[in-house]
Chain A
Amino acid sequence: MTADRVAAVAGLLAQVAARGQENLAEHEAKQVLAAYGFPLTREILVTSREDVGPAAAAIGYPVALKASSPDIPHKSEQGLVRLGLTDEPAALEAYAAVAPALAGRSGGVLVQEMITGRRELAMGLVRDPDFGPCVMFGLGGIFTEILADAVFRRAPLEPADAHDMMEESRSRRILEAVRGMPPADRGTLAEMLMSLGQIGLDHRAVAEIDLNPVILAGPRPVVADALIVLRGG
């Protein structure tokens, strides 16, 4: 199982690298994450206007539409993420706005489940020149960098390391039961952090991973957006 998983992801990464991509598109990154058991949004990749309605109906409204291309690593900064689309006309309008950015690029438009939750976290992976793959945990959304709330641990992480990251982070209080929201499922969060480290150890081709936001749907963390950057050369 584990060996199969590593081989499957290595194969995917090799294909992507062979196409000359520097990054994985969101839908590709999520295939990697799915192999490692991450909780993900339900989503369907479409490449034509006709597919938008059926895909959105299958996911169930409201939906999000996003440009998913390896050439656009920071799509929300470019206005290529449309959230909270409640019916087909809204979805088609969003498609019309997002799709032109994909002209001449690989990828497509992701029709994605909207995760309801007011708490957003971030996690990721970086390769440090001294310590190799290191896992990050912190506050998500647009505040990740502004508040610089990010703590790091070297991979591999023990369960105690993952739990201590949450304890050390200034975001730990939003993991508690606050304002009528239930306490976050720290067990699942810990497994996600450990899996990020494992991806870094299993796949030298992976340079960086950003999972931001990871939204807490009630207690349950769900990866709403993902970026995987490959190592050059």
Chain B
Amino acid sequence: MAETDFERIFHPRRMAIVGVSSEGGYGFANGMLLACRAMGFAGEILPVNPKGGSFAGQTIFRSLEEIPGDIDFAVIAVPAPAVPEALEACRRKGAAGAEVLTAGFGETGTPEGRGLEQEIREIAARGIRVVGPNCFGIYCPASGLTLLPGPDLSREPGPVAFLSQSGGMSIDLAHLGGWMGLRFSKVISFGNGADLREAELLRYLTDDPETGVIAMYVEGVADGGDFFQAIREAARRKPVVVLKGGLSEAGGRAVVGHTASMGGSRAIWSGVLRQVNAARVESLEELAQACLAFSYLPARVFRGISAVGGGGALGAAASDAAEAYGIRVPEFSADLRTRIEAILPQPGSSAANPIDVANPFVPPALLGRVLRLAAEDGRVDLQVLISLLYHYKSQARAMGVGVADITPHAELAETVATAAADSGKPVVMVLPDLKRGPEDLDLAEMMARAREEFTGRGIPVFGAIGEALRAIGHVSAYYGRRLLGEES
């Protein structure tokens, strides 16, 4: 088979959407056409339906053959029995690939469904690559391709790629990552994976210069050995974060020995992912947080941190969380401690590390000086700043002003980013968001804007101390083990 032209799949100039209906409605094809237009897809969109007509101001071609010239890519959203014919027509039109959104194939477990999926596989083998069927498609911010139903995803490209058997997980991560500050190279929902699936897509992303971090949601693999080789090679070059669905404790099969009775898929997958040095996560949120840390933090091992916050319990929580991930919170020398305490409000502060700055209203400039001083300790590789910005709501209320008017989040973000850049030691922000009732919608808006101020300056933000340390732990573990592997 000729080499796959992934460039024409992810950045198509001419894209057919098969199944667009002139009768309107928000079927998959119509929805995808509107979503791609809303995203500002830069290429030409060519709707197709045997009934013709027009939709959203565009004339619908009666067949793929009617389209003048070749196409690069196609979205297919016709009923399952009509998919093979449409796919074959796309192949003859020169398309490098097609995504099949339609369900009703192998996943049904029926002979008809399996037969149709086999037909897709056979057409693909003749020279067109297929994403799906039973998927939400491809999101590529650089080109404006989007998932179903995603008219409002970011067009700003970034380093994170996501491979997923689940369409729901794909669109969820695209939305979740959007406000967290994740930026994507490619999100690929490959559904049943009749043709393109985990191992081959991993190899593509390993070599893809637009991708720096690979995340994946996987339920089952077509070929465990091939997947193992692909993910091991990928993780030697880039961080790989894996969420495995459908794990079981027991083997779920008749076994005789004790070894096999303990070798359920959870234990085996856990061992295999450690063997290939992939980061294993337990939820989509943890996956997003790990990707945030991998894409915002430098490629380093963080052995020691400083933890800075207003309140002694925050520091204790940070120390406890750090210990769980093998990260130290080294106690500062008497000299450094004295110099930091000299600038902090007294009484109530303490700078042994963790550093308790006494209250949540310490001015940003002062926090910046604390970060610079703490960075002087050679054992500190990274700093965690916990800021309870939500307390400004109480202050604003007492003063009778808006919370956004008095919260210095932009100034804090600027100060933190400068301190991080000057010291060469990254800062991770923790912004707990504890008031979330309907009476605090103004606070919710301020917190969202605060997050943007930080992520826009390259500072990752987490909602909880434990989540931040867990994500930092993933980065440290990955680069530490990769270094060991390169040495041996």
Contacts and interface: CB of A to CB of B under 8 A. Distances in A.
Contact of A212 (B256, B258, B260, B263): B258
A148 B484 contact: no
Given A130-B220, A154-B228, A160-B484, A124 B270 contact: no
Contacts of A129: 224, 253
Contacts of B255: 126, 208
Contacts of A171: none
B267 A152 contact: yes
Contacts of B275: 153-154, 161, 164
Contacts of A222: none
Given A152-B271, A154-B272, A160-B484, A136 B225 contact: no
Interface in A127-180: 127-132, 134, 136, 138, 144-145, 148, 150-154, 160-161, 164-165, 168
B39 to A, nearest CB: 37
A134 B268 CA distance: 8
Interface string B457-488: 00000000000000000000000000011001
Given A130-B268, A160-B485, A145 B274 contact: no
Contact of A144 (B220, B221, B227, B262): B262
Contact of A134 (B257, B258, B271): B271
Interface in B382-423: none
A210 B271 contact: no
B225 A208 contact: no
B262 to A, nearest CB: 4
A127 B263 CA distance: 9
A73 interface: yes
A229 interface: yes
A11 B228 CA distance: 31
Interface string A34-50: 00000000000000000
Interface in B217-262: 220-221, 224-225, 227-228, 251, 253, 255-262
A209 B263 CA distance: 12
A23 to B, nearest CB: 7
A125 B262 contact: no
Interface string B414-457: 00000000000000000000000000000000000000000000
A122 interface: yes
Interface residues of A, number: 37
Contact of A227 (B228, B257, B263): B257
A126 B485 contact: no
A145 B261 contact: yes
A164 B274 contact: yes
A122 B263 CA distance: 13
B256 A73 contact: yes
Contacts of A128: 224, 263, 265, 268
Of residues B225, B227, B259, B267, which shows the largest number of chain A Cβ atoms within 10 Å of its Cβ?
B259
Contacts of A131: 224-225, 228, 268, 272
Given A152-B272, A154-B228, A161-B275, A134 B262 contact: no
A45 B261 CA distance: 29
A145 to B, nearest CB: 6
A144 B258 contact: yes
A64 B14 CA distance: 78
A22 B275 CA distance: 32
A215 to B, nearest CB: 16
Contact of A136 (B253, B262, B488): B262
B487 to A, nearest CB: 10
Of residues B256, B257, B270, B274, which shows the largest number of chain A Cβ atoms within 10 Å of its Cβ?
B257
B263 A210 contact: no
Contact of B256 (A125, A150, A168, A229): A229
Nearest to A73: B256
B488 A126 contact: no
A126 B221 contact: no
A210 B220 contact: no
Interface in A1-51: 22-23
A154 to B, nearest CB: 5
A144 to B, nearest CB: 6
B217 to A, nearest CB: 16
Contact of B272 (A73, A153, A210, A212): A153
Interface in B263-283: 263, 265, 267-268, 270-272, 274-275
Contacts of A122: 258-259
Contact of A132 (B225, B260, B265, B271): B225
Contacts of B251: 126
21 contacts: A122-B258, A122-B259, A124-B257, A126-B251, A126-B255, A126-B259, A130-B221, A131-B224, A132-B225, A136-B259, A136-B263, A144-B258, A150-B262, A153-B275, A160-B484, A160-B488, A161-B275, A164-B275, A208-B256, A208-B259, A229-B256
7 smallest beta-carbon distances between A and B, as pairs = A124-B259, A152-B271, A130-B224, A126-B263, A208-B257, A210-B257, A126-B260
Interface of B: 220-221, 224-225, 227-228, 251, 253, 255-263, 265, 267-268, 270-272, 274-275, 484-485, 488
Given A134-B263, A164-B275, A229-B256, 5 more contacts: A23-B256, A129-B224, A145-B261, A150-B262, A208-B256
